[in-house]
Chain A
């Protein structure tokens, strides 16, 4: 189909469906992240992108027959290669023999956090998670480097008149959102700090926080949102999250243990683990929320200067 808007919506359904799959396979954290990121933020960003590029796909001049043949051959070869692997979910498969039993057996004594996913992500594999946070931060910096533009000062004069004209059209939405947005922010904090005991953690909390800000921006206009949420502050916040994460590791180094060894943070090793996990999840949450807000503001800001200025002020 050539209609990109329909494709974006079908992608939203697809990500909701795959999150349901994860739920039936009992992988709760993954389903959480897939729901928040795939169905929420990803769909919104793609929508903003196609408002700038146009809604219909341009007709291609050549038939993609060769590409389809290559894809089918490669795909069937890969599937043939996986026929040799052990059955899905088999308990004696080699992947479940070496590292996983140690995590499952020892995680409660060594770290004391009921959610094994959080303990693996934040303590056993803290270095990998550090890499993920730095990647997210780099993506935000890339978007800033490519898409940011200097705002002219005469745009901010029209805020009040635009606010009023948008007010009648979206009145009910605005009032309901004013009641919902504090609840969404509180829920983001709940997910952040409850990540030790249930599904959640820094990534999901950051995305939920950012989506509350998206809701505010969409309904109250870009100019008002920029006055409420200062861009320079958000950029500093993004860097602060990564700095917090890295400094936890450096403090461990300075106390004589290895990098990201949390037992150096407090006198009791278990309390040290809890403190370490808390701090790095906070760092992850701050960075993810700030980077999402940066990306959305820069995408949506570009839209104001695109040729179709006859639309209402966004």
Chain B
């Protein structure tokens, strides 16, 4: 049950082995290649967001890491073990917030949690769980009568019930209203603050920016960029666009050194105003769209 027999990456200064390490992961369904040599590393204790458009391979990646889907090729290590062959002791260390139902619509929230507490040797007390996800007042309500947001909270409670070291959340807020979504984010932050490693997938940019320590952008079955949200697409962001109007027409210059362009521009108009002058840098959304290839050649819109 202790970590790793697998070839660990070279460690510097005794840093802990990463929670997730993936090299060259490939997976095809029939003739459709979904993952095409994906590399991924999630550090212990961080919240990592896999960001990408629908169909980019996020869910497949998560399912391979959870050990519920076979991979075609590649090395995968999750908490030091290969999920394809890892046993129950390993499962006890991971938690999954899944979309699937609990144990039946006819059970109450408390009955559901009490039931699943029997599957783990390290259950959190049901009352603590209820309080943590804000379902204390719904403890006696049948699962079938819960709202969508409340069901997701129950799913979180079930996902963390056994005190996992690593929690997977696959598109957790899809379909939630804005209020439920913000409440859910707070749950994830609490989880992260408790030292749990969190790996979530999302196609919402703001969600990734809000929650993640690092974001991995997935496109075409590969990880095309990994960085903290603020640094995502650093190369793309360095390029600024200087715009102004000259003789009624828009002029635009792209440059990594906008100051020089401005100096020349102002020198050319020593006494006049430069109409509609602006200097802009791509925002996160522009960077993301460029990374996933939704805009050609990294063109900011």
Q: Do A and B bind each other?
A: no
Q: Interface of A with B (CB < 8 Å)?
A: none
Q: Interface of B with A (CB < 8 Å)?
A: none
